[in-house]
């Protein structure tokens, strides 16, 4: 008996297709779809499927993806594979989309910022097309459950790919499932608030709605020089001054919270609850989309924050407590065991369940999960590399004041 129960007073739907787990971006690429296998096994191991309606996702249709993306880009993504890539690159309609070469570029770029070079952020890999349309299909199915009133919270941990542009892949993201979801939600809801706790700036979503007062985008992210070399942390946008496109109705409907490396639980809570609370008060959204990128956790392979699963989950709980239709999406997260722990913990939060410290059922292939499932302060033993910049309370206070003023 694990005590898992259906939530009282609201319904949760969970959207997934195991086929996404089999994908490989490349040997050394940080994005590992098998983190979703770990997440699924933890969710099932705890019995959380009994607390929600679970749905097997089907692929998004070409027309659905074209609601945001350029028709030629969608055609390219439909057909692309390592085998077809060289031939597709020769078709004039697609050749036009090859970005100009910059000096010192280490990878050879093809159309739409896609590449078959080993170090590419957006590689062309086997099964890629199926993968893209599947994670998008899962997000759209989750969205439909919400907009039809079939549930109050819908979850797709395989979605949340916030960097993709209209006709360009960027930062491991090819199809912007978030933009597609919000566009669909706008048919039903007057105002949609998008919140992004991935360690990277949610630039693709912000850009798509920068002229739009019915969508407020709010991203919390690492911002500033990456290290001593002066390179900026990806994608380099999301300054405090960036508040939506000036001179359009969308001005003041984007919010950005740039954060130095090393921010801890207490500081993040102060920022997140202060700013998010004020944004909700001012914007009065009809529904919320929360991108739960887990690369904001301490110990992440790419991230530079120092927050625990406990605080990451408290962000989800805070947003859930607004009692608005809520779409929960994944995103980044590059230390797979922590990603799975966080998203399983957050599935429990969405369904009003508390997890026990041991996975109650035998779960194959996750024998490595000997530790606690969540909330373990001692989970990240070494933070040396995280404290290159100090995160000062005074700076954070200034930021909240500034955002309140705007
Ligand atoms: C192949 C193999 C690709 C090893 C990419 C880290 C790799 C990175 C790799 C990597 C890596 C980035 C840049 C590149 C600016 C670009 C899902 C021209 C060890 C939502 C995307 C980060 C984050 C992109 C996505 C970033 C998300 N960081 N090893 N690439 N240069 N790209 O800096 O927000 O989490 O790192
Ligand atoms: Ca973010
Ligand atoms: Zn990220």
Chunked in runs of 10, what are the mean pLDDT values of the chain (406 residues)?
A: 88 96 94 95 92 96 98 98 97 93 86 95 98 98 98 98 98 98 98 98 98 98 84 96 97 97 95 98 98 96 94 98 98 96 97 85 40 31 37 73 68
Identify which of 252, 334, 330 has the alpha carbon closest to the alpha carbon of residue 290.
330
Q: State phi, psi for 184 to the nearest 5 degrees.
A: -70, -40
Atom of ligand 1 nearest to the CA of 105: 18
Choosing from 32, 116, 171, 385 the residue with most ligand 1 atoms within 8 A of its CB, the one to mutate for a pocket test is: 171
Helical (H) or strand (E) element with 15 = strand 12-16
What pLDDT, on a 0 to 100 scale, did the predictor assign at position 360? 67
Q: How far apart are CA 189 and CA 272, in angstroms?
A: 24
Check: CB of residue 342 under 8 Å from CB of residue 297: yes
What pLDDT, on a 0 to 100 scale, did the predictor assign at position 363? 45
What pLDDT, on a 0 to 100 scale, did the predictor assign at position 373? 30
Q: How far is the CA of 255 from the centre of ligand 2 (A)?
A: 11
Identify which of 285, 266, 274, 286 has the alpha carbon closest to the alpha carbon of residue 404.
274
For tokens 């979503």, name the residue: 205
Q: CB within 8 A of 346, min separation 6: which ones?
A: 292, 312, 313, 316, 328
What pLDDT, on a 0 to 100 scale, did the predictor assign at position 380? 30
DSSP-derived secondary structure for 87-136 = HHTTSHHHHTTPPPPPTT--S---GGG-B-STT-SSB--TTHHHHHHHHH
Atom of ligand 1 nearest to the CA of 121: 3
Structural tokens at position 370: 């000997």
What pLDDT, on a 0 to 100 scale, did the predictor assign at position 396? 74
Q: How far apart are CA 301 and CA 334, in angstroms?
A: 5
What pLDDT, on a 0 to 100 scale, did the predictor assign at position 201? 98
Choosing from 234, 291, 294, 331 the residue with most ligand 1 atoms within 8 A of its CB, the one to mutate for a pocket test is: 234
Atom of ligand 1 nearest to the CA of 295: 35
CATH code of the domain occupying 12-57+127-405: 3.40.800.20
Strands ordered across the beta sheet of 254-259: 53-56, 12-16, 153-156, 326-329, 287-291, 192-196, 215-222, 254-259
Q: CB within 8 A of 122, min separation 6: which ones?
A: 113, 114, 115, 169, 170, 171, 172, 173, 174
Q: How far apart are CA 141 and CA 24, in angstroms?
A: 24
- Ligand 1, atom 2: closest residue by C-alpha: 29
Ligand number, closest to the Cα atom of 259: 2
Q: How far apart are CA 16 and CA 142, in angstroms?
A: 9
Q: How far is the CA of 75 from the centre of ligand 2 (A)?
A: 29
Structural tokens at position 366: 């996750």
Q: How far is the CA of 243 from the centre of ligand 3 (A)?
A: 20
Choosing from 33, 105, 116, 121 the residue with most ligand 1 atoms within 8 A of its CB, the one to mutate for a pocket test is: 121
- Ligand 1, atom 23: closest residue by C-alpha: 171
Question: Active-site positions?
Answer: 201
The pocket around ligand 1, CB under 6 angstroms, is made up of 26, 28-30, 119-121, 161-163, 171-173, 198, 200, 234, 293, 295, 302, 331-332
DSSP-derived secondary structure for 164-229 = -BTTB-BTTBSS-HHHHHHHHHTTT-S-EEEEE-SSS--HHHHHHTTT-TTEEEEEEEE-SB-STT
ipTM above 0.90, yes or no: yes
Identify which of 91, 180, 93, 186 has the alpha carbon closest to the alpha carbon of residue 147.
186
**What distance, in Å, lies between the first and last C-alpha atoms of the chain?**
51
Q: How far is the CA of 151 from the centre of ligand 1 (A)?
A: 35
Structural tokens at position 169: 């892949």
Atom of ligand 1 nearest to the CA of 333: 35
């Amino acid at each position: 008996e694990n005590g898992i129960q259906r939530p009282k007073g609201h319904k949760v739907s969970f959207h997934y297709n195991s086929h996404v787990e089999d994908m490989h971006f490349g040997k050394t690429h940080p994005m590992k779809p098998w983190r979703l296998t770990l997440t699924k096994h933890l969710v099932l191991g705890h019995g959380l499927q009994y607390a929600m309606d679970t749905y097997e996702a089907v692929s998004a249709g070409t027309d659905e993806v074209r609601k945001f993306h350029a028709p030629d880009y969608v055609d390219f993504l439909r057909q692309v594979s390592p085998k077809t890539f060289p031939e597709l690159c020769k078709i004039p309609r697609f050749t036009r989309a090859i970005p100009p070469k910059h000096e010192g570029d280490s990878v050879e770029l093809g159309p739409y910022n896609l590449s078959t070079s080993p170090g590419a952020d957006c590689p062309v890999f086997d099964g890629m097309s199926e993968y893209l349309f599947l994670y998008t299909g899962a997000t759209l199915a989750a969205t439909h459950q919400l907009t039809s009133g079939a549930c109050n919270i819908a979850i797709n941990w395989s979605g949340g790919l916030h960097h993709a542009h209209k006709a360009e892949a960027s930062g491991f993201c090819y199809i912007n499932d978030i933009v597609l979801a919000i566009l669909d939600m706008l048919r039903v809801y007057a105002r949609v608030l998008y919140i992004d706790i991935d360690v990277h700036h949610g630039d693709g979503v912000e850009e798509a709605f920068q002229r739009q007062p019915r969508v407020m985008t709010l991203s919390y992210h690492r911002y500033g020089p990456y290290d001593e070399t002066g390179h900026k942390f990806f994608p380099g946008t999301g300054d405090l001054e960036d508040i939506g496109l000036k001179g359009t109705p969308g001005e003041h409907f984007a919010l950005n919270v740039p954060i130095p490396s090393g921010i801890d639980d207490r500081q993040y809570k102060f920022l997140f609850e202060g700013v998010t609370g004020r944004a909700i008060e001012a914007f009065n959204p009809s529904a919320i989309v929360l991108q739960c990128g887990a690369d904001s956790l301490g110990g992440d392979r790419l991230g530079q924050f120092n927050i625990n699963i406990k605080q990451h989950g408290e962000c989800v709980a805070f947003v859930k407590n607004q009692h608005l239709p809520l779409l929960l999406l994944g995103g980044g997260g590059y230390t797979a065991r922590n990603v799975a722990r966080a998203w399983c913990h957050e599935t429990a939060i969405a369904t009003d369940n508390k997890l026990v410290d041991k996975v109650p059922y035998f779960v194959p292939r996750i024998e490595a999960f000997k530790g606690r499932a969540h909330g373990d302060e001692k989970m990240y033993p070494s933070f040396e590399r995280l404290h290159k910049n100090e995160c000062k309370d005074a700076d954070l206070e200034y930021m909240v004041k500034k955002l309140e003023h705007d």
